[in-house]
Amino acid sequence: MATVTVPAPRSPRSTRTRRTTRTNVEMLGWMFMRLSGVLLLVLIFAHLFVNLMVGDGIKAIDFAFVAGKWASPFWQVWDLLMLWLAMIHGTNGVRTIINDYAERDGTRLVLKTLLYLAFVVTVVLGTLVIFTFETCPAGAPTELLPSFCTE
């Protein structure tokens, strides 16, 4: 006679696979999104206003215009802040979207690796440009340079 084993009722079915993390990373990320969002509103709209509306507006933008701006530490800091805040804000946003929508761990890993790679390349390149920008490159035609180069 075959014995039938009946599983005990109400036995715990699955052990939790959730890893408990005891850090504030998610909370800090959440707060960063709010704070940087407010800051970026100011930074970006002032940037757009200065570049596109003031003076000759969009027609004034050329090498000399950008070089003139980046000769001043004020705009260097402004653009650097904008770059970093926007990149972290955007990357964190896309990270949460990947977390929300990617169902498989493998997909998640690939997408996030690509995302972080893009982040590093953009931020490093952008930071490098802002700090090492040559305002008056030697041997360039003077009419293309900002006015203070020839003085």
Partner 1 sequence: MTAVAENSTSAAETKAGEIPSFDVTLRIRRLDPDRSDEPFWEEFTVTAHATDRVLDAMHKVKWEVDGSLTFRRSCAHGICGSDAMRINGRNRLACKTLLKDLDPSKPIVIEPIKGLPVLKDLVVDMEPFFASYREVMPFLITGGNAPTAERRQSPEERARYDDTTKCILCAACTSSCPVFWTDGQYFGPAAIVNAHRFIFDSRDEGAAQRLEILNDKEGVWRCRTTFNCSEACPRGIEVTKAIQEVKRAMITRAF
* Interacting residues toward partner 1 by CB under 8 A: 13-14, 16-22, 24-27, 29-31, 96, 99-103
- Rounded CA separation 118/122 (Å): 6
| Shortest distance, position 84 Cβ to partner 1, whole Å | 22
Which tokens in the block code for residue 115? 């995302």
Burial 19-50 (b: 16+ CB within 10 A, else e): eeeeeeeeeeeeeeeeebeeebeebeeebeee
Looking at the Cβ atoms of 66 and 115, the one nearer to partner 1 is 115
Which tokens in the block code for residue 141? 């035609």
| Shortest distance, position 2 Cβ to partner 1, whole Å | 21
Looking at the Cβ atoms of 103 and 134, the one nearer to partner 1 is 103
Looking at the Cβ atoms of 25 and 54, the one nearer to partner 1 is 25
| Shortest distance, position 45 Cβ to partner 1, whole Å | 25
Looking at the Cβ atoms of 22 and 59, the one nearer to partner 1 is 22
User: Which among 96, 95, 101 has a CA at the least distance from the CA of 115?
Assistant: 95
C-alpha 23: how far from its chain's center?
22
Looking at the Cβ atoms of 57 and 93, the one nearer to partner 1 is 93
| Shortest distance, position 37 Cβ to partner 1, whole Å | 14
| Shortest distance, position 94 Cβ to partner 1, whole Å | 14
Answer whether 49's CB lies under 8 Å from 7's CB. no
